[in-house]
Amino acid sequence: MAVGLEAPERLLPVEGVTLAAFPAGIKYSERNDLLLLSLIEGTTVAGVFTSNKFCAAPVHIARKHLESGHIRALLINSGNANAGTGTLGHENALDCCSVTADMLGINENQVLPFSTGVIGEQLPMERVLAGIAELRKTENECDWVSAAKAIMTTDTVAKGVSETVDIDGTLITITGIAKGSGMICPDMATMLSYVVTDANISTPALQQILIRGTDASFNRITVDSDTSTNDALILAATGASPLPEISDVESTAAMEFSVALQNVLIKLATSVIRDAEGATKFVTVKATDGKSESDCEAIAYSVAHSPLVKTALFASDPNWGRILMAVGKAPVEELNVDIIDVQINGVQLVKQGQPADGYTEESGKLAFSEPEIEITICLNAGSSSYHVWTSDLSSEYVSINADYRS
């Protein structure tokens, strides 16, 4: 059950984008599992993709097509990752682009393909291609909430966010959806997410703005330290609003847009953690007052990735020695453990590397029992800081992943 998260009731439409979804029966029965986002001519598109070297066929193709520019369609299927599928998988992904392009009257390199689901199985192409043919019939009948549902796999709720921002008297809309619950670890990307806006932004500026927003959001989440083969984050700007083109990323208009976009991306990223597989806790890990940001990052992730810390959180067991263990094993060259302070939800666990005066097992138990937890590791060695969002590790996580293919 998601921690403090409910599916959106409504998401704002974005001028220049049409949606279509269809139940192709790729893996799931009686639910949409194929989604098409059609973009008006002139839309600029930016993207970031997984760093996993065993990345899926659609990732290879999407990267290549994105370089050619003038993207007009995004095609997403759930239920099958089309990863680890060799030459045939690559050809199947290209066929999906070709059939979609023929249907829309565009070139195949103007289609970006995306897949999510089981790795190592070929797409059921007969069902996929039949589903693509049906998508044109359902255009404009699909709303953004339905679109968010169509890309779900082990997610328990649909994830979506809309924001508006006034830039120079023009109201700009940003709407985004995401999927992801497991196999979540940063190093871009961490899931599938599609964000669109009616702003007019040049391609180079859009890419820079997206990278900046990603570093503050999706590149700060982890469920299980596993980076997926299929992750992608796409940002499309249709230019349908009357706002003049944004091309300078340091301009006031660009900065105002960036702040609004970052809000959307953080909400989407944290919704992934709130709906992590089997999660019962939403956890923020902060490393503060470090010598460098890289030191703080390493320590924050060491704690966030630790199975022993995460299982203690699930059990609401104030076994805070596990936090010290995780801090100590972080790949940091110089770490003075005798000056470190540790708190959880404001309860002082450790002061100057020793058990804090006044700490009790009862106060620790209460802090570890909260559904939303903030762990703060103060290094007392400088002025840098870093934070990440993670979840606990429950028996249900094991069950979900043990039974995923059955």
What pLDDT is recorded for position 190? Answer: 47
Entry field: residues in the chain: 406
Closest CA to 252 of 165, 135, 353, 130: 165
- Which residue in the block uniquely carries the two structure tokens 């921690």? 3
- Kindly state the average pLDDT of the residues 371-385: 98
**pLDDT above 80 for 373:** yes
Long-range pairs, 69-72, Cβ under 8 A, ≥24: 69/45, 69/203, 70/41, 70/110, 71/39, 71/43, 71/45, 71/110, 71/111, 71/112, 71/236, 72/38, 72/39, 72/41, 72/43, 72/104, 72/106, 72/110, 72/111
- Percent of the chain at pLDDT exceeding 70: 96
**pLDDT above 60 for 185:** no
First to last CA, the chain: 21
- Kindly state the average pLDDT of the residues 62-72: 94
Cα dihedral value 296, 180, 142, 125, nearest 10: 130
pLDDT digits (tens, 9 = 90+) for 305-342: 999 999 999 999 999 999 999 999 999 999 999 999 99
Ramachandran area for residue 29 (φ above 0: left; ψ -120 to 50: alpha; else beta): beta
> Using CA atoms, how far apart are residues 333 and 315, in angstroms rounded to an integer?
32
> Using CA atoms, how far apart are residues 310 and 295, in angstroms rounded to an integer?
21
Which residues, 6+ apart, have CB-to-CB distance to 207 below 8 Å?
46
In order of their start, the domains of the chain are 17-274 (3.60.70.12), 282-402 (3.10.20.340)
pLDDT digits (tens, 9 = 90+) for 252-272: 999 999 999 999 999 999 999
pLDDT digits (tens, 9 = 90+) for 131-183: 999 998 887 778 999 999 999 988 889 999 999 999 999 999 999 999 976 55
> Using CA atoms, how far apart are residues 352 and 311, in angstroms rounded to an integer?
26
> Using CA atoms, how far apart are residues 169 and 19, in angstroms rounded to an integer?
28
> Using CA atoms, how far apart are residues 239 and 14, in angstroms rounded to an integer?
10
**pLDDT above 50 for 188:** no
- For the sheet containing 192-197, what is the strand order? 44-49, 232-237, 192-197, 170-179, 159-167
Evaluate whether 204 touches 69 at the Cβ level (below 8 Å). Answer: no
Catalytic (active-site) positions: 190
> Using CA atoms, how far apart are residues 151 and 76, in angstroms rounded to an integer?
7
**pLDDT above 80 for 406:** no
- Signed CA dihedral, 202, 208, 211, 213: sign only: negative
